[in-house]
Amino acid sequence: MAALGFRVLYKDGRSRGRVGELTTGHGAVATPAFMPVGSQATVKGISPEELTGLGAEMVLCNAYHLYLRPGHRVIEEMGGLHRFMGWSRAILTDSGGYQVFSLAPLRKVTDDGVTFQSHLDGSLHHLTPELAIEIQESLGADVAMVLDECLRYPATAAEAEAALARTTVWARRCRDARRRPDQALFGIVQGAHYPDLRARAAADLVKIGFDGYALGGLSLGEDKPAMHAAIEASVEELPESAPRYLMGVGTPEDLIEGVERGIDLFDCVMPTRHGRTGWLFTSFGRVLIKNAQYARDASPVDPACACPVCRTYSRAYLRHLFLAKEMLGVRLNTLHNLHYILTLMAELREAIQGGSFSEFRDRFYATREACRT
C-alpha cells in the first residue's frame, strides 16, 4: 500500500492558495484541512462520532504523550492507534520534539538525540530519531513526523542555525529508520524567524526526500510579518506536488493567511483550549461567554452559525454552564469552536475552487473590522 497520495485540484489565481486531496490508508482528506488535536488519543471532551459529524477527516495525536502513557507498545498490542481510540479516519502523529522542549523540566540535547525528564513522574528518557520513528510506527499513524529541535523565541541566528543543522541530520536518520511502507513521513522545516535559514532548511529537506513537508517552530512569539515571511521563504523551496503542513497555528486569521501562502494542513489546540476557557469563535470575532453582558442574552453565540450548539442553546445558558463549572458547558463550547474552524476550512476550499478566495478574505476582515467600530 502506498504511504500517501496527494494531488492539487484547484489553484487560486491571485495567491498560492490551493485545494487538494490527501489520500491515506484511512480515507481521503480534502485540503486545506484543519486537524483537531487529540494529544493523548482523544480530542478533549469530544467523541470520534462527534468529530465525524463535524466533518473532521484527520486528527493529530502526540507520540510524546502516548510514549509516556500508556506506552506505544501497549497501543500496538491493542491493534494500533486507530482501533485504540475508535477513530477510523486519518491520523497524523507529531514526533514529540516540541513537547520535549516545552514540557520537560530537564533536557539535554546532543547530536545523538535528547535526554529529557518526564513531566508525569520525573523518569529519564533518551529520545533519538530512530526511537521517534519506532514509536510512531508502533502507533500506526497514517503520517509520522521526523524528530526536530524546536527553539524558544527569540533565538539568535547562531542558535537557529545550529538547531537547523541538527534537525536536518535527524531528518535523514528518521528517513533511514522508517520501515512501514504504509506510513508517510514528513520532514520539518526549522530556522526560527530567519527567512534565509527557512529557505535553506526547506531546500535541504527536499534533497533528502519526504512524502510531505511541515513548518515547525512558528507562532511562538514572533510578530505576524515575521511568521508570514518565514512561511513564504519555506514554501518557495517546497515542491508543488507535496502537501505542506503549518504546525501549531490555528487562529482564524492565521488559517486564512496560511492558506493564502500555500499551506495545506494545520493543527492547533486553540479551538479546544478556548472552549475550556470560555472563548468562542464567531463570524464577527471572539466572544468571552462568562462576561456579564450575556447573563440574560437569549440569542445564540453566533446567529450566522448552523452548529447544533447555536441552533439549540442561548448565550445565557452557556454562560451559566461555564460559571457553574458544568462539564456540558466545556463540551458545548468545544463543539461550537471545532464546528466554526472546520466550517471555515470548507468555506476556504469552496472559495478557492470558485475563484473567489480574495473576495472571501476581504469579507472576513471587513466583518471583523465593522464589529470593532
Q: Which residues form the catalytic set?
A: 94, 267
* Parallel/antiparallel/unpaired status of strands 285-288 and 279-282: antiparallel
**Residue indicated by cell numbers 527569540:** 154
**Residue 329 Cα distances to 44, 55, 194, 325, 340, angstroms:** 13, 21, 42, 7, 17
Is the separation of the CB atoms in 262 and 243 below 8 Å? Answer: no
For the stretch 104-107, contacts whose Cβ atoms lie closer than 8 Å and that sit 24 or more positions apart, written own/partner, are: none
